[in-house]
Amino acid sequence: MRILGRLVLMSAIVLTGAAGASMADAPIAIAIHGGAGTIRRADLTPEREASIRADLESALRAGHQVLADGGSAMDAVVAAVTVLEDSPNFNAGRGAVYTADGGHELDASIMDGRDRSAGAVAGVRNIRNPILAARAVLTDSPHVLLSGSGAQEFAIRQGLELVSQEYYDTPQRLEQWEQAREASRTMAAIPVEYRLGTVGAVALDRAGHLAAATSTGGTTYKRWGRVGDSPIIGAGTWADDRTVAVSATGDGEFFIRNAVTHDIHARIEYLGEAVQVAADAVIDGPLTASGGTGGVICLDPAGHIAFSFNTAGMYRGSIGTDGSLTVAIYGDE
C-alpha cells in the first residue's frame, strides 16, 4: 500500500508538472486598433505619427505583459484599451470627439469568450476609463448595457475614477468640432473621417480563452444621445472561445445594421472559414455593399490574427504567438 501510495503521488506530481509546462508553453497573442479612416501620410506630421506609433506599442506591451505573466485575456484587453483611452491621440477616453453641444459622450464594451458574458456602457460623460465601467457591468451587475446617468451612478458605486468634461478636451478635436459646426451651418457634408475613430483590443491567454474590448468617443458633432456600434455586442464587439474575438471601428450605424462582429463569428462557426477569410468576406461584402466604412481586428483560438478594413488606413498593431511585434497605420504597410 505504501508503494502504491508513493506511485500515485509521484504520478500526480509528474502530471502536475507536465500540465504546468504545457500551460507555460501555450500560445498567447494580442491585437489592437486605434480607429480606421482616411489616414494619409501627408496628414500626419512626423512627430504625431511617432507619438501614435509609440502609444500603440505601449498598449500592446501592456496587454501582452498581462498574458506573459499568466493573466487572463480579459485583463489583457482592459490593460491595452486603458492605455489607449488615456492617450489624447485616439477617439476614446481623453481624446474623445465633441458632440454637437460641445460636450463628450463615451461608449465601451467588453466580452469574455469563455461564456459570452459581456458588459457595456453608453453615453457616459464623466468616467475616466469607460472600459473599466464596462468590465464592472459584466462582473458586478445582472445587466449587459447601462447608459447615461444610470451608468455613471453605477460607476460611482464601483469606485471608478470620475473626471470633468474638460479632461477629454484636446486641441485637435476642438478644431474638428469647429469645422463640423461650420459645415452644419452651410449644409456641407461633415468629413467622413470625423465620423470614425474607436480603440479596441482582442487577446488569447495561456488557458486558451479569448476576449475583446472596444471603446469610443463616438462621432464628431453627434446629437440626441446617439450611440454607435462600440457598446453593442455583436456589432462592435464579440468573443467566443470556439471561434473568434473581434473589435470593430468605423461607421457605427452600418456595423449595427450588418451585425459585423457576430457575422464574422457565424462564418467561422457555420462555414468553417479561416479568420482572415471570414473578416474580409464581411468587410468587403455586406459592410461595403451597404455603404459602410471601417475595419476589424480578429483573433482565433489558435492565435491567428486578422486585420481587415476598407479605408485608407487603420491604426493597428499586434504581438503574435511568436512574440513578434508589429505596428502599422497606412493601408500599404
* CA angle in degrees (0–180, nearest 5) for 253-257-263: 120
Residue 267 has a CB neighbour count (10 Å cut-off) of 21
What 3-state DSSP class applies to 178? helix
Q: How many helices (H) and strands (E) does the chain have?
A: 10, 12
- What's the Cα-to-Cα distance from 327 to each of 32, 49, 52, 96, 99, rounded to whole Å? 9, 11, 10, 22, 30
The cell for 331 is 493601408
CB 138: neighbour CB atoms within 10 A? 18
Closest CA to 314 of 35, 40, 81, 90: 35
| Active-site position among 198, 219, 249, 261 | 198
Q: Is 225 helix (H, G, I), strand (E, B) or coil?
A: coil
Cell representation of residue 233: 455586442
Q: Is 216 a catalytic residue?
A: no
- The position carrying cell 461584402 is 285
Residue type, 211: A
- Could you give the angle at the alpha carbon of 29 between the alpha carbons of 84 and 112, nearest 5°? 75
Report the 10 Å Cβ neighbour count for 273: 17
The set of residues, in sequence order, having a beta carbon less than 8 Å from that of 18 and lying 6+ positions away, is: none
| Catalytic sites, residue numbers | 198
